[in-house]
A and B are shown apart, each in its own frame.
Chain A
Amino acid sequence: MTVRTGYADPRAVAAQVTDPEMPMLTLADLGVLRDVEVEGPGHVVVTITPTYSGCPAMATMRDDLVHALTDAGWSDVEVRVRLHPAWSTDWISDEGRRALREHGISPPGAAPRRDGPVPLNLMPTRRALTCPRCASPAVEVVSEFGPTACKASYRCTACLEPFEHVKEI
C-alpha cells in the first residue's frame, strides 16, 4: 500500500471509525474492517465483512467510513463487501475485548467450530462468564436475545446488575 503525500494515512483513518451500536469498539477492533488499499490519486478502497446478515448498522458503518476518509482528503472512497469468510466474534481484537468489558459488556468466548451437522441443543447455551462489573462468576442468562442481534441478556446474581454478553458466532 502506498500512501501519497497530501492525504492522511487511510488505514489509520478507517481504523478509527467506531461501531454505531458499540461505540467503544472501532471497526478494526470489531474485525469488520478487512482491508484498506489506495488504488489511485485520492482513490481509496475499503473492504468490510458484514457481521450478521441483517445487521442494520452496516449501512451506517459504510457511511461513517466514507465520511471519515472524505474528511481526511480522499475524494473517491469506495466501500466493498467481502462475504467470505463469514465474520466471527473470534475476529474481535484483544483491545476490543478489553474495551467491551470496561464498558460493562461481557466479551465473547471462543466461537464454536463445526464439522458436520450442527448438533441440536435443547438446553440453554452454557458459557463460563464473569460479571463485567463485579467479576463474579455467579451469572444467569435472562434471554439469548438482546438489544442488538449480537448480544444475549444476562444478570449477575452477586451484584444483581443486568449486563449484555456478545454472543459467540
Chain B
Amino acid sequence: MNDDSVYDGLLGGDDSQWAFGTDFEDPLAGVDTTLPEGVDGAALAAYCLMLGDDALVLSHRLSEWCSNAPDLEEDIALANVALDLLGQARLLLARAAAADPSVVPVLPEGSPVPPEDALAFFRDQDAFRNVRLVEGDRGDFAVTTVRLLVASTWRLALMQRLATSRDAVLSAIAAKAVKELAYHRDHAARWVVTLGSGTEESRRRTEAALATVWPLRWELDRTHEVERTLAADGVAVDPADVAAEVDVLLDQVLAAAGLEVPEVKRTGGLGGRTGRDGVHTEALGKVLAEMQSVARAHPAGRW
C-alpha cells in the first residue's frame, strides 16, 4: 500500500497546524506603516478598528444572503459588496495591528495566524468597536437594503475625506474604498427606490425597515473621543463633518422612493457608551459565535 499523500509537504511536515489551507499573505507587505509624527499608535489603532469592524460585521451580515437572495443577480451583488467590505476590513485591521501591536490577541506560541485574522477571530464582543447599526439581524431584504444604504452613504462620505488623512496608509485604503463604496451606495439606493415605489407589500416592508434601522443612525454621527483627537491631528475624520452631507443624500433617496423620514426614538447606549466603546447588542454575539468558532477551535491552524 502506498502511503504517499498529495497533501504531504503542504505544511512543511507539521500537520498539527492543519486547518483548511496554507495561504497567508500580509496585505501590507512592503508598505511603510511608520506612524505620522505626533500620532498616538493606540489611538490610531482604535480608529482603524472602528472603521474595520464596521466593514467586517456588515460584510458578515451581507454574506448571510449568499444562496438566499431574491434572485441570482442579487445574490452575486450582495456577495460582491460583502467581499469588498471584507477586503477593506482586512486592510484596516492590519493597519490597526501595525499601529499598536498590543491590540492583537495573543495566540499560542507558533500560531501562524496573521495579526488581522487574530483581531477578527480572537477578540471578544466588548473589544469590537463597530456601530450597533451594522450588527443587527439581517432581517428581510428591505432591512438589509436600508441598512446598506445608511452604512454605505456614511462610509462613502467619510472615506472621501479620509483620503487626505495624514496617515499615508489610511489615506490609501480610503481612496480605494471610495471607488467601491460609490457603487455599494448607488446599488442600495436604487433598491430602496424600487421597493418604496413597488408594491404595497414592498412599501410596507421598507417602511418597517426604516423604523428598524433609523433608531441606530445617530451612533454614526456621534463623535467619539478617539475620532475627535485624531481629527484634530489631521489623521481621522470627525463624523460631525459628514452628517449634513449624509442627511441630504438619504433625504434625496427617500424622496425618490416616496418614503418619509421616520420619526423614531434613538436606541440608547449604556451610560452614554455605544458600539464604538464596545457596548453591543446580543446580535453581535451571535455573529461572532458563527464567525469565530472554527478559528477559535484551531488557534494554531493554517488557513
Which one of A14-22, A52-60, A98-106, A157-165 is at the interface? A52-60
Q: Is A121 among interface residues, defined by CB-CB distance under 8 A?
A: yes
Which of A142, A147, A153, A169 has the most chain B CB atoms closer than 10 A to its own CB? A169
Residue of A nearest to B194 (CB): A122
Contacts of A143 in B (CB 8 A): 73, 76-77
Instruction: Decide if the interface of chain A is mainly helix, strand, loop or mixed.
Output: loop
Question: Which residues between 121 and 144 of chain A lie within 8 Å of chain B, taking CB atoms?
Answer: 121-124, 142-144
Q: Is B259 among interface residues, defined by CB-CB distance under 8 A?
A: no
Interchain CB contact under 8 A, A84 and B171: yes
Least Cβ–Cβ distance between B61 and chain A, in angstroms: 15
Q: Which of A55, A56, A83, A153 has the most CB of B within 10 A?
A: A83
A167 to B187, CA, bound (A): 14
Bound CA–CA A120/B185 (angstroms):
8
How long is the Cα–Cα vector from A142 to B74 in the complex, in angstroms?
11
Question: Across the interface, do B30 and A149 meet the contact criterion of CB distance under 8 Å?
Answer: no
B interface, over-half SS: helix
Cβ of A86 under 8 Å from chain B: yes
Shortest distance between the CB of A88 and any CB in chain B (Å):
8
B180 close to A (CB within 8 Å): yes
Please judge, given known A-B contacts A84-B172, A85-B175, A143-B73, whether A54 and B249 are in contact too, CB under 8 Å.
Answer: no
Question: Contact: A86 with B172, CB < 8 Å?
Answer: yes
Is B263 positioned at the interface, with any CB of A under 8 Å from its CB?
Answer: no
Note all chain A residues with C-beta closer than 8 A to B176: 50, 53, 83, 86-87
How close is A79's CB to chain B, nearest CB, in angstroms? 7
Given contacts A122-B189, A122-B256, A146-B76, contact A54 B29 (CB under 8 A): no
Q: Mark B173-217, 1 if CB is under 8 A from A, else 0.
A: 101111110110111011001000000000000000000000000
B169 at the interface (CB under 8 A from A): yes
Q: Cβ of B178 and Cβ of A81 under 8 Å apart?
A: no
Contact of A54 among B84, B175, B179, B252 (CB under 8 A): B84
Given contact pairs A83-B31, A149-B83, A122 touches B186 in the complex (Cβ within 8 A): yes
B235 contacts chain A at the CB level, 8 A cutoff: no
**A78 contacts partner chain B, Cβ-Cβ < 8 Å:** yes
A78 and B90 contacting across the interface, CB-CB below 8 Å: no
Cα–Cα, bound, A53→B186 (Å) = 18
Which of A54, A59, A120 touches B25 (beta carbons < 8 Å)? A59
A6 within 8 A of B: no
A62: interface (CB < 8 Å): yes
Do the beta carbons of B27 and A54 come within 8 Å of each other? Answer: no
Q: Given A52-B180, A54-B84: A117 and B160 within 8 A (CB)?
A: yes
Minimum distance in angstroms from A52 CB to a CB of chain B: 6
For the complex, is B80 an interface residue (Cβ under 8 Å from A)?
yes
Q: Any chain B CB within 8 A of the CB of A47?
A: yes
Instruction: Report whether B180 and A81 are in contact in the complex, using a CB–CB cutoff of 8 Å.
Output: no
Question: Quick check: A149 and B84 within 8 Å, CB to CB?
Answer: yes
Which residues in B have their C-beta under 8 angstroms from that of A84? 168, 171-172, 175
B249/A120 in contact, CB under 8 A: yes
Q: Which of A53, A56, A81, A121 contacts B31 (CB 8 A)?
A: A81
Report the minimal beta-carbon distance from B116 to chain A, rounded to whole angstroms. Answer: 13
- Chain A residues positioned under 8 Å from B28 (CB to CB): 81, 83
User: Are the CB atoms of A145 and B77 closer together than 8 Å?
Assistant: yes
Are A81 and B183 interface neighbours, CB within 8 A?
no
Give 1 or 0 for each of A40-58: 1 = CB within 8 Å of chain B CB: 0000010100101111101
Q: How far is the CB of B13 from chain A (nearest CB, A)?
A: 20
Inter-chain contact B88/A54, CB cutoff 8 Å = yes
Contact B86 A122 (CB under 8 A): no
- In the complex, 28 of the A-B residue pairs with CB atoms within 8 angstroms, ordered by the A residue number, are A45-B30, A47-B30, A50-B176, A53-B87, A53-B90, A53-B91, A53-B176, A54-B86, A54-B87, A59-B23, A81-B27, A81-B30, A82-B30, A84-B171, A84-B172, A86-B176, A86-B179, A117-B157, A118-B178, A118-B182, A120-B185, A120-B249, A122-B193, A143-B77, A144-B187, A145-B187, A147-B76, A149-B84
Given A53-B87, A53-B173, A54-B86, 15 more A-B residue pairs with CB atoms under 8 Å apart are A45-B30, A53-B176, A54-B83, A54-B84, A55-B87, A80-B29, A80-B30, A81-B27, A83-B28, A83-B172, A117-B160, A120-B249, A122-B189, A122-B256, A124-B190
